[in-house]
Amino acid sequence: MVRAAVPRRLTWRVATVVDTRQETSSARTLVLDVPDWPGHLPGQHVDVRLTAEDGYTAQRSYSIASAWPSDDGGQVELTIQRLEDGEVSPYLADVVAKGDQIELRGPVGGWFVWREKQPAPVLLIAGGSGVVPLMAMIRARGLARGRQPFRLIYSVRTPEDVCFADELRRRVRDDPGLDVHFVYTRKAPEGSPVPPKRIDVAAVNSHGWPPDFQPDCFVCGPTSFVETAADILVALGHDPKRIRTERFGGA
Amino acid sequence: MGIISRGFGGRRRDSSPDLPPGQYLTHDFPVLSAGPTPRIPLDRWSFSIVTETGEKHSWNWDEFTALPAEEITVDIHCVTKWSKLGTGWKGVSLDTLFEDVESAADYAMAHSVGGYTTNVPVEDLLDGKAWIAYEFDGEPLHPEHGGPARLLIPHLYFWKSAKWVNGLRMMPEDEPGFWEAAGYHMYGDPWSEQRYHGD
């Protein structure tokens, strides 16, 4: 179970956009400068609050994509996937620009986190933008030079929908302890030996860890994807208590 | 008022007096759970209340569904910001379950299959404020939404409405449950926006 952290009040902080990176046609990373940021664990999220000129506000939660401390010092990165009928994500994915400010508070969450002291191998299963908190874990492991073997199974519609593609390629190339397997649900890359399909028992069985390795499993994505992937893990014999899930719901 | 986000207009489609601060309306029913969804066979289902003296009151599925049930329509508010208005449930009021329970405890810890816990003051469970619900929209409650039965305390953030609930343990003192120990508010009133510690 979770050990209670020292409770402290979460106050709204002003974050300044210092850089943006287009990840895919529908996902963008915001690099935020947050003065006095207390740091965070990989897997945690923040609440973002936007205020319109007339005082109307909207809040949403977004996973943190970066590890802490980030490679370039005191910054927090959010990777936002645009939801077509969303109220907040189109603004963050398309409109906000370098120099603009948004409010956030956090970090939030103590369950869906990877701690570098955990020696167990790790299985990460991502559905679409569910890769974001899992990427934070991969980055944190890199930062800590962790030797726990990591495997990521990343389900996307098409090769063009892969977030962090170059970075994942580089990390896999340079780090024998990290493997990434892609599951393409609508269009596979040119010359792929397997046709597009959804995540299934075979993919998790071949590219995950055997249950007797007792890996820590983190599954993140849309509800139906997480239900399927978690059910597969349980069916393969993984201890439900070692399977941590985070489901994205709402718009 | 917060700082203005340049170029943000908002949708305003969510303005409703029934919406607590910081929430937005959703018309689907998102699922949020910390782990895999357990599948609980009805012949292995039970619900119990254990008092501070160790006295145990238990119901199996047949006994439970034979109790007088209520149909209620309530608004629900998840701490992850979505709210859903006018949701229809059927369940047994906690008032019914507590009829023969002797307890002076001010708090209860709800326990669920899979190890989830959440703490609730007893006064928030009684007087028509909470149910053990086993139907949603006229259908048996689906496992991913906490079926066969879940706690339903609509006036608090929805993490208090423990899925797959199998018991209440009466406590003289308040203690944090699963999310409360991870930084979430001990009480969780959506109208006061009590999301996290110290809110």
DSSP state for residue A110 in the 8-state scheme: S
Contact list, B34 vs chain A (CB under 8 Å): 111-112, 244-245
Q: Which of A91, A103, A243 sits opposite B3 (nearest CB)?
A: A103
A36, A220, A242 from A230: Cα distances, Å: 37, 10, 11
Q: What is the mean pLDDT of residues A146-173?
A: 97
**B39 phi, psi to nearest 5 deg:** -105, 115
> Under DSSP, is residue B63 helix (H, G, I), strand (E, B) or coil?
helix
Instruction: Verify whether the Cβ–Cβ distance B81 to A250 is below 8 Å.
Output: yes
pLDDT at A73 over 60: no
Shortest Cα distance, chain B CAs vs residue A9, angstroms = 5
Smallest CA–CA distance from A53 into chain B, residue:
B4
| Interface contact flag, B34 A58, Cβ < 8 Å | no
CB-CB: which of B2, B31, B81 is closest to A223?
B31
B144 vs A: CB within 8 A: yes
pLDDT tens, A118-128?
999 999 999 99
Residue of chain A minimizing CA distance to B11: A87
Q: Which of B5, B11, B32 sits opposite A247 (nearest CB)?
A: B32
pLDDT value at position A197? 95
What is the token pair recorded at A17? 């956009």
pLDDT tens, position by position, A98-148: 999 999 999 998 899 999 999 999 999 999 999 999 999 999 999 999 999
Asked if B34 and A53 come within 8 Å (Cβ–Cβ), the reply is: no
Q: Write down the pLDDT at residue A248.
A: 82
What pLDDT band is residue B9 in, cutting at 50, 70 and 90? confident
**Looking at residue A211, what DSSP letter applies?**
G
- Looking at residue A36, its pLDDT comes to 87
Query: pLDDT, tens digit, for every residue of B26-73?
Result: 888 777 788 999 999 999 999 999 999 999 999 999 999 999 999 999
Among candidate residues A153, A161, A145, the one with its CA nearest the CA of residue A225: A153
Residue numbers in B near A241 (CB within 8 A): 35, 114-115
Mean pLDDT of chain A: 92
CB A230 within 8 A of CB A223: no
Buried b (16+ CB within 10 A) or exposed e, B126-152: eeebbbbbbbbeeeebebbbbbbbbbb
Residue A101 has a pLDDT of 95
pLDDT at A127 (0 to 100)? 97
**C-alpha–C-alpha distance, residues A91 and A17, integer Å:** 13
At A224 the three-state DSSP class reads helix
CA A33, distance to chain mean position in Å, is 19
Q: Are the C-beta atoms of residues A251 and A226 closer than 8 Å to each other? A: no
For residue A9, the chain B residues in CB contact (below 8 A) are 196-199
Size of interface A-B (CB pairs under 8 A): 150
pLDDT over 90, % of chain B: 83
**Which residues in chain B are closer than 8 Å to A58, comparing Cβ atoms?**
8, 10-11, 14, 24
Residue A9 is given by DSSP the state -
Is the Cβ of B140 closer than 8 Å to some Cβ of chain A? no
Proportion of chain A above pLDDT 70, given as a percent = 94
Angle in degrees, CA A129, A135, A138, rounded to 5:
160
pLDDT digits 0-9 by tens, B73-103: 999 999 999 999 999 999 999 999 999 999 9
- pLDDT of B6 strictly over 50: yes
Reduce the DSSP state of residue A23 to 3 states and report it. strand
Q: How many CA atoms within 13 Å lie on the side-chain side of B157?
A: 27
B14 pLDDT band (50/70/90 cuts)?
A: low
Asked whether the predicted pLDDT for residue A77 surpasses 90, the reply is yes
Amino acid A72: pLDDT: 58
pLDDT at A183 over 90: yes
Min Cα–Cα distance to chain A from B46, Å: 20
Give yes or no for a contact between B193 and B135, defined as CB atoms under 8 angstroms apart: no
Rounded CA gap, B182 and B175, in Å?
A: 13
Angle ∠(A163,A166,A168) on CA atoms, nearest 5: 75
Total number of residues shown for chain B: 199
pLDDT tens by residue, A5-29: 455 688 999 999 999 999 999 999 9
- What are all long-range contacts of B61-66, with beta carbons under 8 Å and residues at least 24 apart? B61/B148, B64/B92, B64/B132, B64/B134, B64/B149, B65/B134
Instruction: Name the B residues in 17-76 with CB < 8 Å from any A CB.
Output: 22, 24, 26, 28, 30-38
Q: Compare all CA atoms of chain B with the CA of A58 and give the residue at the minimum distance.
A: B22
Name the pLDDT band for A1 (thresholds 50, 70, 90): very low
Share of chain B above pLDDT 70, in %: 97
pLDDT of residue A76: 96
Residue A77: partners with Cβ closer than 8 Å, 6 or more residues away = A29, A30, A31, A32, A64, A65, A66, A70
Buried b (16+ CB within 10 A) or exposed e, A26-63: bbbbbbbbbeebeebbbbbbbbbbbbeeeeebbbbbbb
B chain contacts of residue A53, beta-carbon cutoff 8 Å? 4
Average pLDDT over residues A182-186: 97
Nearest by CB to A55, from B1, B7, B199: name it.
Answer: B1
Q: Is the pLDDT of residue A190 over 70?
A: yes
Question: How far is the C-alpha of A189 from the C-alpha of A187, rounded, in Å?
Answer: 7
Average pLDDT over every residue of B9-14: 72
The pLDDT-based confidence of A169 (bands split at 50, 70, 90) is very high
Interface test with A, best of B8, B145, B184, B194 (most A CBs within 10 A): B8
Partners of residue B35 in chain A, C-beta under 8 Å: 230, 240-241, 243-245
Identify the sign of the CA torsion B143, B147, B153, B155: positive
Distance between A39 CA and the closest CA of chain B, angstroms: 15
| CB-CB under 8 Å, A59 with B36 | no
Residue A175 in tokens: 């780090």
Do residues B116 and B166 lie in contact, with contact meaning Cβ atoms separated by under 8 Å? no
Per-residue pLDDT band for A2 (boundaries 50, 70, 90) equals very low
The two three-digit tokens of residue B187, written as one number: 């009480």
Nearest by Cα to B101 from B174, B170, B172: B170
Inter-residue contact B29 to B145 (CB < 8 Å): yes
Identify the band that residue A74 occupies on the pLDDT scale cut at 50, 70 and 90. low
Q: Do B183 and A247 touch (CB under 8 A)?
A: no
Question: B2 to chain A: which residues are within 8 Å by CB?
Answer: 12, 49, 51, 57, 103
Task: Give the pLDDT score at A4.
Answer: 46
Tens of pLDDT, residues A17-62: 999 999 999 999 999 999 989 999 999 999 999 999 999 999 999 9
The confidence score (pLDDT) of residue B30 equals 77
